[in-house]
Amino acid sequence: MHPKFSVVAPIYNEEALVEQFYARVRDVMTGLGEPWELILVNDGCRDRSPELMDALHAADPEHVVVIHFARNFGHQLAITAGLDHARGQAVAVIDSDLQDPPEVIAEMVARWHEGYDVAYAVRAEREGETWFKLWTARAFYRLIQRITDVDIPLDTGDFRLMDRKALDAFLQMREKRRFVRGMVSWIGFRQIGVHYKRHARTAGETKFPLHKMLRFAFDGITSFSQFPLKLSTWAGTAAVGLGLLLALVLLILRLGGSAPLAGQGLTASLVLFLGGVQLWSVGILGEYVGRLHEEALDRPLYLIREIKGRDDHPAPPVS
């Protein structure tokens, strides 16, 4: 029999938390009184987490499914793999570091029973993050809301519950560079926010250094907006306009007998400025070309080394 609820959790080097995480999820899910499954995705861990995950499956084969990736593919693809393999009527995605309290799933399930297709968790408060992360995250979610057409809710991560209909819609999107929270907004359906307090990590450390955060932010923007491409056009238009204006002014002054700005300084600064604008534009273009390149290669989104707890190894849908 298929479980009613699936919980999908990506795991990357969380040996200090895996067992505690399972226990908290089990308590919440048991409390709901319906069949459930927990899909743990080993995103190429380099610590003892995989053994701990296998042990959880051995101890509770009825509920725990373990997907071992062939290597680290990243948080967004780990989530995707878990969602591909989930069989529930309602499917939750949650971080395994206990920053997202599993207890909130019960509240999401309540919204689902009220008829909502997606219940996403909104961080009303965040504990134990640096001011830098709080500030950049805040700025990023406001920026992306301004420059995209999709209504991506503010201060929302991937912690959410999706109804099967909404999930199947989501799973049709097989793009390589994934910004899952944006993709879920994009599908529409009836969505509602559930407010919660995001806790500090109880153990371990963040797996998202600044360069990964930036990469992720850029993926989010380029997935849903062509605004950066338009920036080049605007910058180009402004530069051409300024150049023409300057030429005109200098011409008029020269006709009037004076020759200001005869030195090299002006030329040098103009060259630098325009060179910068051009390189910048090429860089932005490169981001989009890079995405096209990845799509053209059409490699699989992720590779699975082994699955524990599933006999019918369903292959992920092919694009």
Least separation in angstroms between CB 315 and Mg ion: 30
Interior/surface letters 198-230, b for 16+ CB within 10 angstroms, e for the rest? beebeebeebeeeeebeebbebbbbbbbeebee
**Among candidate residues 8, 68, 81, 79, the one with its CA nearest the CA of residue 38:** 8
Q: Measured from the CB atom, is 14 or 84 closer to ligand UDP?
A: 14
Q: How far apart are CA 14 and CA 203, in angstroms?
A: 8
Judge whether 71 and 302 are in contact, CB under 8 Å: no
Least separation in angstroms between CB 7 and Mg ion: 16
Residue numbers of the site for ligand UDP (CB under 6 A)? 10-12, 14, 43, 72, 74-75, 78, 95-97, 99, 206-208
Q: Measured from the CB atom, is 97 or 219 closer to Mg ion?
A: 97
Residue numbers of the site for Mg ion (CB under 5 A)? 97, 99
Judge whether 108 and 121 are in contact, CB under 8 Å: yes
Least separation in angstroms between CB 206 and ligand UDP: 3
37's contact among Mg ion, ligand UDP, none, with CB below 5 to 8 A by partner kind, is: none
Token pair 């399972």: residue: 22
Q: Measured from the CB atom, is 12 or 116 closer to ligand UDP?
A: 12
End-to-end CA distance of the chain: 28
72's contact among Mg ion, ligand UDP, none, with CB below 5 to 8 A by partner kind, is: ligand UDP
Least separation in angstroms between CB 162 and ligand UDP: 18
Q: Measured from the CB atom, is 74 or 88 closer to ligand UDP?
A: 74
